[in-house]
Amino acid sequence: MDIVAALTLAKLWCCTLKLSFFNVGIHLLLRPPFEARFTK
């Protein structure tokens, strides 16, 4: 039970980390053009 719980928690943690990095990457890629448009 403990090993299975640890594995499931690790999988969820990896998924959340991947999603967070993905969102940060999209944010960094999309932010400069939008800022340039709004400042101009």
CA distance 13 to 19: 10
**pLDDT computed for residue 3 by the predictor:** 94
State the DSSP string of 5-17.
Answer: HHHHHHHHHHHHH
**pLDDT computed for residue 28 by the predictor:** 85
CA distance 27 to 11: 24
Place of tokens 């980390």: 17
**pLDDT computed for residue 14 by the predictor:** 93
pLDDT string in tens for the chain (40-residue length): 699 999 999 999 999 999 999 988 888 888 776 666 666 5
**pLDDT computed for residue 29 by the predictor:** 84
Q: pTM for this one?
A: 0.53
